[in-house]
Amino acid sequence: MNFKIVNNIPNDIDTTITLFGDSHTLCFVGLFIKYDKYLLFNKYNKNILIKNRNHDSVSITGLSNNDSKLKYNAHIQNNISSDINNYYMFKLGQVDVEYIYYYKLFVKKENINIIDFYSKTVDKYILFLQSLPTKNILVCGINLTSWRDIKSYFKYLSYIINIDVISVSELLKDFTLFEKQKNHLLFNNILEKKCIENNIKYFDLINECCNISDNEISVKNKYLNVCEDSHYKGCHENIEDESCDKITCSTFLNKLLDQL
């Protein structure tokens, strides 16, 4: 994939895409494309600029919470215009599916059904997107989990929701990695359906990045880090470095640009 990294926005930009989302948004640009760096492409005979405005740990749940410490909803509002040449890509939901549901279930002791939680979370997402002063919205579904061992996920979950890992393992003792992946697909199915109903463009990278059969739901090895990690390969790397494996960023960016 051919792109330039620029520190200033050129005057001859035809289309701008701004990325909003949690840390998994880094699948598109790597770790170091932030406020003072942009990606510049020439595709379809147009100069396309990509801005990254992601924030770690943001959730759909937090968007509708006026007391949210991250205030990400205001951050989004402040970075959106009605210019028809500006597009806005949202990649949210991973935090809700992987952590907030279990926080509500195990820490707050809420009696919640997973399908109801996903559906209500998606409804909040759609309402928020509809409140924005633009129709040029693209929604990217969540990734499959990149954990290859359910025990590694339990350990990380216990850290995030502040419950000891023995308790988490006991509470989820019958929970398998296959079931976890099915939950991610379920969330995306609900999200895609709601986006279609509301004329919002949806896409995901499941077909490109994952193996799916009756007996297997997993991330393809080429998108996984050597060591267990909660993110796909390249998310914690500098896309400018020649040593950076750009397979994840290239796949995600190509799919994004195909949505225009």
DSSP 20-78: EESGGGGGTT-SS--TT-EEEEEETTEEEEEEE---TT--HHHHT-TT-SS-HHHHHHT
The two structure tokens encoding residue 134:
């633009």
- Determine the distance from the C-alpha atom of residue 132 to the mean position of all C-alpha atoms in its chain, rounded to a whole number: 19
CATH code, 4-257: 3.40.50.1110
Per-residue pLDDT of the chain in tens (260 residues, 90 and over written 9): 678 899 999 999 999 999 999 999 999 999 889 888 999 999 888 999 999 999 999 999 999 887 888 889 999 999 998 888 999 999 999 999 999 999 999 999 999 999 999 999 999 999 999 999 999 999 999 999 999 999 999 999 999 999 999 999 999 999 999 999 999 999 999 999 999 999 999 999 999 999 999 999 999 999 999 888 899 999 988 888 877 889 999 999 999 999 99
**Where along the chain do its domains lie?**
4-257
Q: What do you get for the CA distance between the two ends of the chain, in Å?
A: 17
pTM of the model: 0.96
